[in-house]
């Protein structure tokens, strides 16, 4: 499994709008085929407005295609994307 981690900085007042926009996008049926099957987590810091969006893919190739699709557009409430990093997911541990 592979993960794309994007960091966003925005006004703390926009956090709820960003969450709602992401949920609406996922439910819209207009998700690009390159993102089909991806799993996403959004981690938020309500005090600073910072967010991490972690998109997980089954293969590195799928992650690269998903990255291209996500780079093609930016949601209204995303804020400023300050970084994007890529990781291999070495394991998932349930405690």
Distance between CA atoms of 36 and 25, rounded to whole angstroms?
13
* DSSP-assigned beta bridge partners for residue 2: 57, 88
Distance between CA atoms of 92 and 64, rounded to whole angstroms?
21
The length of the chain in residues reads 95
User: What are the structure tokens assigned to 44, written together?
Assistant: 């938020």
57-66 pLDDT per residue, tens: 999 999 999 9
**According to the model, what pLDDT value does residue 66 have?**
95
| Whether the Cβ atoms of residue 11 and residue 79 lie closer than 8 Å to each other | yes
- The SS3 assignment for 16 reads helix
pLDDT band at residue 5 under the 50/70/90 scheme = very high
24-54 pLDDT per residue, tens: 888 888 888 999 899 999 999 999 999 999 9
């Amino acid at each position: 499994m592979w993960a794309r981690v994007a960091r966003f900085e925005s006004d703390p007042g926009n956090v709820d709008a960003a969450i709602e926009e992401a949920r609406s996008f996922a439910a819209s049926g207009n998700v690009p085929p390159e993102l089909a099957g991806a799993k996403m987590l959004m981690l938020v810091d309500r005090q600073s407005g910072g967010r991490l969006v972690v998109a997980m893919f089954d293969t590195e190739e799928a992650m690269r295609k998903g990255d291209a699709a996500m780079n093609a557009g930016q949601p209204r409430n995303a804020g400023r994307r300050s970084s994007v990093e890529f990781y291999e997911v070495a394991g998932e541990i349930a405690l």
